A = this chain, B = another copy of it.
Amino acid sequence: MTTLNHLINGARVDGEGRTQDLYNPSTGEVSGQVSLASQATVESAIEAAHNAFPAWRNTPPAKRARVMFRFKQLLEENAEKIAHLIGQEHGKISHDAAGELQRGIENVEYACGVPELLKGEYSKNTGPGIDSWSEFQPLGVVAGITPFNFPAMVPLWMYPMAIACGNTFVLKPSERDPTSALYIAELALAAGLPPGVLNVVNGDKEAVDTLLNDPRVQAVSFVGSTPIAEYIYSRASANGKRCQALGGAKNHAIVMPDADMDNVVNSLTGAAFGSSGERCMALSVAVAVGDKAADTLIEKMQAQMQSLKVGVFSDAGNDFGPVITKQHQEKVLGYIDSAEQQGATVVVDGRGVSVPGYENGFYVGGTLIDRVTPEMTCYKEEIFGPVLLVVRADSMEQAMQLIDEHEYGNGTCIYTRDGEAARYFSDNIQVGMVGINVPLPVPVSYHSFGGWKRSLFGDLSAYGPDAVRFYTKRKTITQRWPSAGIREGAQFAFPA
């Protein structure tokens, strides 16, 4: 069994420090080890990025973009391999892993347009003979700290744009499933990134804190749980760094009585159980407006869930795989228990699931819970498992109030055919990403990803246009050329 190490200054290095086991959650077995970088190792990565910055910053944006074009190509050529690496350590089924990678590649595509995106604003004659313009200059060394649930995609939300904007980067992927991120970073180097422009360190809190404390790191992008996001944001901010920290979610769908219920059920099934619900945009609460809608929803969901298949990542016939760890499996099961104890109705129960041949895998079956109320633990907290809660509301207003009062404000959705209901909902709901008949309203790569309330700490969203602003700082130049007779021809025609 091998130990996954680090990628620093263009080379794989072992560094010093501790190691930790890697698991295959589909089988429950240890699949290898990963190094946990010491402070010194992380600092050497920062040093490499720091040294690579001046030359990379001065590389024309179109040349930087061309590396991204080649990177996209290499990602596509190696897509199958990457999907396998993702599945092995994360557990998601191959089609899901391929989908994740595709969304990541779309961020690389967006980074290919960086010459356009970096355009500054130019004003002639801000005063007589005075011109003024803004430039968006790169920050320097930027760090990214990414979660286990999208081991390939979330790093690709960050460094393609950061690097295309002229920064250099240190990535710390999740220590639970770091292999795909490291492999992908090597493809980025193969695409032409100079050594030191992109570095990957594996690690845990020691690595994170080193990134947060080192004064050479100018900015930190983070995706993970809300408590950690809050820690990262406050620490980075106190250290004078720019920071965006994305946290947890509890995404509600409102099901209006006029919705096409077959469409609701089809799309909710994927949105709730896909990737075992381990997505920050997973649709985990359905709020049915009116008992009739609720009853229909429950009935049709129950029928639909008969055919849901949970199992090993490598079998494309499965709908979703295991959760990430044994501990997380137990936590999810505990939420289902608590729901039952607190009075909800477990309509479809995924607790007893066993996958033949993979009995030690960390599986939880698709679970549907009706008559959930806001006081219940399962409602208040993010479950991050294949569990769909149904809450019954009397009116659209009441449904919206539920959403607005929840701690998180990442994504939400309404199912309706009515233009006015859709407009009222999207205008007023206190959530950053809103779907109208779209259960997973993840913005495409040319828009930006950002929740509201405690789902995002920071001013600017992830990827898309906001990433340009996050990874650059504005410089405004005001220029006047005093007339000193030099321009006049006579002087030139008859020089002294």
Contacts and interface: CB of A to CB of B under 8 A. Distances in A.
Interface of A: 58-62, 65-66, 69, 72-73, 106, 109-110, 112-113, 115-135, 137, 233-234, 237-238, 240, 242, 256-258, 260, 263, 289-293, 393-399, 416-424, 426-427, 431-438, 441-444, 446-450, 452, 454, 457-461, 465-466, 469-470, 473-484, 486-490, 492-495
Contact of A58 (B116, B125, B394, B470): B125
6 contacts: A62-B106, A62-B126, A436-B481, A438-B479, A452-B475, A459-B469
Contact of A290 (B260, B436, B494): B494
A129 B237 CA distance: 34
Nearest to A54: B428
A459 to B, nearest CB: 5
Top-10 shortest CB links A-B: A395-B489, A113-B113, A420-B481, A120-B122, A441-B478, A290-B493, A436-B479, A257-B492, A122-B122, A419-B481
Nearest to A441: B478
A473 to B, nearest CB: 6
A97 to B, nearest CB: 20
A474 B486 contact: no
B422 A479 contact: yes
Determine the main DSSP class of A at the interface with B: mixed
A444 B397 contact: no
Contacts of A448: 134, 474, 476
B437 A69 contact: no
Contacts of A115: 123, 126, 444, 446
Contacts of A447: 121, 123, 126, 132, 134, 476
B436 A478 contact: yes
Nearest to A478: B441
A462 to B, nearest CB: 11
A2 to B, nearest CB: 33
A170 B489 CA distance: 36
Most central of A399, A443, A465 by chain B CB within 10 Å: A443
A470 B478 contact: no
Most central of A109, A112, A135, A482 by chain B CB within 10 Å: A482
A251 to B, nearest CB: 13
A432 B457 CA distance: 25
B454 A459 contact: no
Contacts of A488: 395-397
A418 B460 contact: no
A191 to B, nearest CB: 13
Contacts of A121: 119-122, 447, 465
Most central of A449, A450, A454 by chain B CB within 10 Å: A450
A428 B457 CA distance: 31
A132 B422 contact: no
Contacts of A483: 420
A402 to B, nearest CB: 12
A396 B289 contact: no
A54 to B, nearest CB: 9
Contacts of A484: 260, 263, 417, 420
A135 B124 contact: yes
A135 B447 CA distance: 11
Contacts of A399: 489
Contact of A420 (B293, B473, B487): B487
Contacts of A436: 419, 477-481
B492 A444 contact: no
A486 B135 contact: no
A293 B123 contact: no
A333 to B, nearest CB: 32
B452 A473 contact: yes
Contacts of A116: 110, 113, 116-117, 446, 465
B234 A396 contact: no
Contact of A289 (B118, B449, B489): B489
A127 B493 contact: no
B128 A58 contact: yes
A459 B457 contact: no
Contacts of A113: 110, 112-113, 116
A482 B69 contact: no
B258 A475 contact: no
A33 to B, nearest CB: 37
A459 B461 contact: no
A9 to B, nearest CB: 24
Contacts of A450: 473-474, 476
A32 to B, nearest CB: 34
